[in-house]
Amino acid sequence: APREMECAFVLPRVRSLGRQAARGGGAGFQPSDAMSRYLAYSEPGATQFDAGKVLNERPRRRLPVFLVGVEAEFRTYLRKGFYKGGSAVCCGGRFAAGQLWPNSISTITMTLAPGFCYFEYILPQVLPPPGDLQGSFLGVSQSILGVVILISFTLASFVNPGIVPRSEGIPKEMSPNYLDMQNKPLPRFLRINGITVKQKFCMTCNIFRPPRSKHCSFCDNCVLRFDHHCTWLGNCVGLHNYRYFVCLIYSATLFLIECIYVTFCIFDQRTAASYGPQADFLDWITVVSQDATLVGFLMYCIFLVVAVLLLSVYHSVISLQNLTTNEHVKNYYKENPFDFGMMSNCTQIYCHPERVVAEGPDNVKADYDIHPSYSEDGSYDEFEGR
């Protein structure tokens, strides 16, 4: 009973974060908190476009969520007994795991096992005697990239991607005029950077989805700045772990390219040792065919490098446009309200993820009437969800 009573008070306080953000402060509230700034766009009581609230104070940079944790109100919701989503949440909301088995565990196994064999048996064959990793640039670079991959994979897989707290029911601030025949809130419209986009109400979380958010059917959470749900990580990629995901695919691309280079060097060395400097291509093929294990490792690396290289190029392109995978694949925007130029876009995504918009103040404007700048081809029409 005490938990139920506490939860009943917690969720209204979470909704009040947006109101405090719009006022620029409040007791115990820091306007620099990234998650709360997003909620300022999700207040239940719609305002007219010409009477919107302006948040002039830019959010200050915030340490990573896995170090400092989420805001107090979010932390309360993410405690055991209050959290209603499908992820496993721990450490005050710092970490969240979606599907540990088989997704995360399988990926870890398929990564660590070949990686161990590579560092133990394959890479030493091309290093200066006695195969010391610290004795050459190749050994040092591979070691560094291996550590970066392990750290970025761990953070991308287990850091809270940006879970939005739920409300117990439809907000009381909702006017009956804006409910449909089933008493469900109608979608409304946000004006961001002069462009109007549709904002839908999540019937599972009982909130207006913050900008760029989506309800993930796998993890059963609304996630801030939702990019995609990664099956290999077993977690959503969102506001708090997108940078680690990008670091993972970039470092994995470089690592795998070096792995392929090392494998070809081994075949070249063996060919030269067996047939001398006059060896031709057929001699090289003969040597290759004699080590099925190394050939299998080479094919494994080629398959992976194609996948992560394509991902790296793709995420480089959408980062320059300030788009998420979800927005790009579903073609949300006829005009992207979050696009402020390539430099500003990348600065926001990788250096200032706490910002909702890359430049200027946050103009929080919402209305239930369609504005002339809205296009049916525009954003949020395709928001799926519950």
Instruction: Tell me which residues are annotated as active site.
Output: 230
Residues 148-151: contacts with CB under 8 Å, at least 24 apart: 148/247, 148/251, 149/111, 149/248, 149/251, 149/252, 149/255
From the number of C-beta atoms within 10 Å of its C-beta (0-12, 13-18, 19+), residue 167 rates as middle
R_g of the chain computed on alpha carbons: 25
Using CA atoms, how far apart are residues 274 and 220, in angstroms rounded to an integer?
59
Place of tokens 């991607």: 161
The kind and range of the H/E element at 189 are strand 188-192
Contacts of 191 (CB under 8 A, 6+ apart): 49, 52, 363, 365, 366, 367, 371, 373
DSSP 277-337: TT--HHHHHHHHHT-HHHHHHHHHHHHHHHHHHHHHHHHHHHHHTT--HHHHHTT--SS-T
Tokens of 190: 């946000």
* Length of the chain measured in residues: 386
